[in-house]
Each structure stands twice: as C-alpha cells, then as structure tokens.
Amino acid sequence: MVELSVKNICPAGKQALVCFLLSSTIFTISFFSGNVFGYSAELWALTYWGPALYFCLFNFVLRYCYKEFMYEVSTRAAFLGCAFATGLYLATFDSGVSTFGAYLAVLSFFHFSEFMSVALTNPSTLTIDSFILNHSVQYAIAAVASWTEWGLEYYFCPDMKTCYSLSCVGLALCIGGELVRKSAMFTAKTNFNHTVQFVKKPDHRLVTHGVYALCRHPSYVGWFYWSVGTQIILLNPFCVVAYGLASWSFFRERVFAEEATLLAFFGAQYVQYQKKVPTGLPLIKGYTIDSSQ
C-alpha cells in the first residue's frame, strides 16, 4: 500500500517541487515588486530583467549540479514554475491579456501537477514524459492553434477578449476538470498509468470505488472538460468547438482501445462494472462485448 504524503515523495518529485516553488516564488516577487514599491525605471528593469537573469543563472547552476534525469526534471519544473508565475502576473492586467495570463497559469499548473501526481501515486513509473509536455504532435498543434486564434482576435478585436465573466466559467471548468482527473489518479494509484497497458501486471487491480464508482473514465472526463475550459478561458470561439470535437474523438478511440484491454484483463468483473457505471464522457459507450461482433 502506497502511503501518500510529502514526506514519502520520491527524490525526483521533491526536486520538481523545489524547482517549481523556487522559480514561481522568485518570478512572483519580481513581477509584483512594482505593485508594492511603485514603478521607477530601476524597478522596471528589476521586474523584467530580474526574472530573466534568474532563469539563466538557475539553469546554469542546475547544469553543474545535476545530471541526466534530475537535470531534465529540474529544468522542466523550473520552467513551469516561471510560466505559472508569469501567467498569474498577466492575469492581473486590466485588458484582454489577463485571459491569456489565466490560461498560462492553468496550463503550466496542469503539466506540473501531472508529474507530481505520478511522483506521489505511482513513482516507479515516473519518467520525464510524466510532465506530458510532449504528449503528441496533435496536442502541440492544438496548443499553437489556440495561441494563434487568441493572438489574432486580440490584435484585430481586443474587446472580444474582455468578457471576463465567461472566462471565469472556463476557469471553473478547468479547476473542476483538474480535481476530477487528480481524484482519479489518487484513487487508482499504481493501477493508473499515463500510457494504456496492453500486458496485465500481476498487481494490476480493477478499481471501482471512489470517483470510479461514478464513471469508468474519470481522468479522461476531467481532461476533456479541462481542455474545453482552457479555450473558454481564452475566449476562443473556434478552438472551443475544435477542442471539444478533437478531444471527444480522441477519448472515444482511447476508451474503446483501453476497454478492450480491460475486458481481456478482468473479464466478467469488467463486464459487471460496465453494466453498472457509465463512461462519464458524453455519447461515448466504450467497448462492449457486442462491439467486437
């Protein structure tokens, strides 16, 4: 049984936590120093060049102190910490830029928390991919498309990006999605894996309690709503629709393939589970014995 506590966190998890917190704190202090002390030319330089200088120096130190995996973890966690603080800072702007700031904070926190959740729940599977920064080419294209849409609309129609109440609905959807996904990871623990398993491990147990008693694929449900939520935060009308359709079609295929393996692993036990509990994703039924005929 894995005991979840910060004390028991694995070395790479601790390292990621320290780098994320240190970087986000230093960036936050630099960015917000102007709000506290007023803006002078010197402080302006400190506010913007300070964080950049820190980031370069910190990476230089990391390069000499850590090797391979630990170095890769440290730089990614530090980068995500900087992005998170930058997002928080931009979110305080009195213009449409604040929507991009909120999005940046949500995005960087998501990738950091994915790594930390694996570090806490299933450390033996922890790799650099646990940040899921390099999820897929499609994921990268989708991100760039959303930045492009936001940039074009902000440039040509800045008023479009000031519907803050709608942006807050997106934020609520992202927070809800995060909570559901992380509840799934913390409930399934070592049975959860970022990549679908095609060979059953001897200790793989079917999880049907907690959030898995409400839906069969809570981590996908959370990610689905989180991804649509990010586009509502950005007030991107085209990407809201495109993300909804792309995520839905991705999860429909993923659930189908995953359930075929789960039926092979757990047989009648999984059939019973399917009868009682829905997938949780709209209009997705999953793989039933009938689908194979």
Ligand X SMILES: C[S@@+](CC[C@H](N)C(=O)[O-])C[C@H]1O[C@@H](n2cnc3c(N)ncnc32)[C@H](O)[C@@H]1O
Which parts of this chain interact with ligand X (CB under 6 A)? 184, 188, 191-194, 196-197, 206-207, 212, 217-220, 258, 261-262
In whole angstroms, what is the distance from residue 119 CA to residue 20 CA?
A: 14
Give dist(CA 119, CA 167) in Å, integer: 31
Longest dimension (CA), the chain: 73
Shortest Cβ 12–ligand X spacing (Å):
20
Query: Where would I find the H helices in the chain?
Result: 11-37, 41-65, 68-91, 97-121, 137-156, 164-188, 218-233, 237-266, 268-276
Q: Shortest approach of ligand X to residue 104 CB, angstroms? A: 25
Taking the complex as a whole, the smallest distance from the CB of residue 215 to ligand X amounts, in Å, to 8
CB of 57 to ligand X, least distance (A): 37
Report d(CA 260, CA 198) in Å as an integer: 9
Distances (CA, A) of 63 to 20, 25, 43, 74, 157: 16, 21, 29, 9, 43
The tokens describing 10, both together, are 């694995």
DSSP 212: G
Q: How far is the CB of 184 from ligand X (least distance, A)?
A: 4
Contact 64, 43 (CB under 8 A): no
The smaller minimum CB distance to ligand X, of residues 14 and 204, is found at 204
Nearer to ligand X, 87 or 218 (CB): 218
Which of 150, 149, 82, 70 shows the shortest CA–CA distance to 111? 82
Whole-number minimum distance, CB 128 to ligand X, in Å? Answer: 17
Instruction: Give 149 or 258: the residue with its C-beta nearer to ligand X.
Output: 258
- The whole-angstrom separation of Cα 233 and Cα 235 is 5
Least distance (Å) between residue 249 CB and ligand X: 16
* Residue closer to ligand X (CB basis): 31 or 273: 273
The smaller minimum CB distance to ligand X, of residues 122 and 230, is found at 122
Q: Dihedral (C-alpha) 167, 173, 174, 175: value to the nearest 10 degrees?
A: 110
Residue among 161 and 194 whose Cβ is closer to ligand X: 194
Smaller CB distance to ligand X: residue 91 or 262?
A: 262
Distance CA 109, CA 127 (A): 18
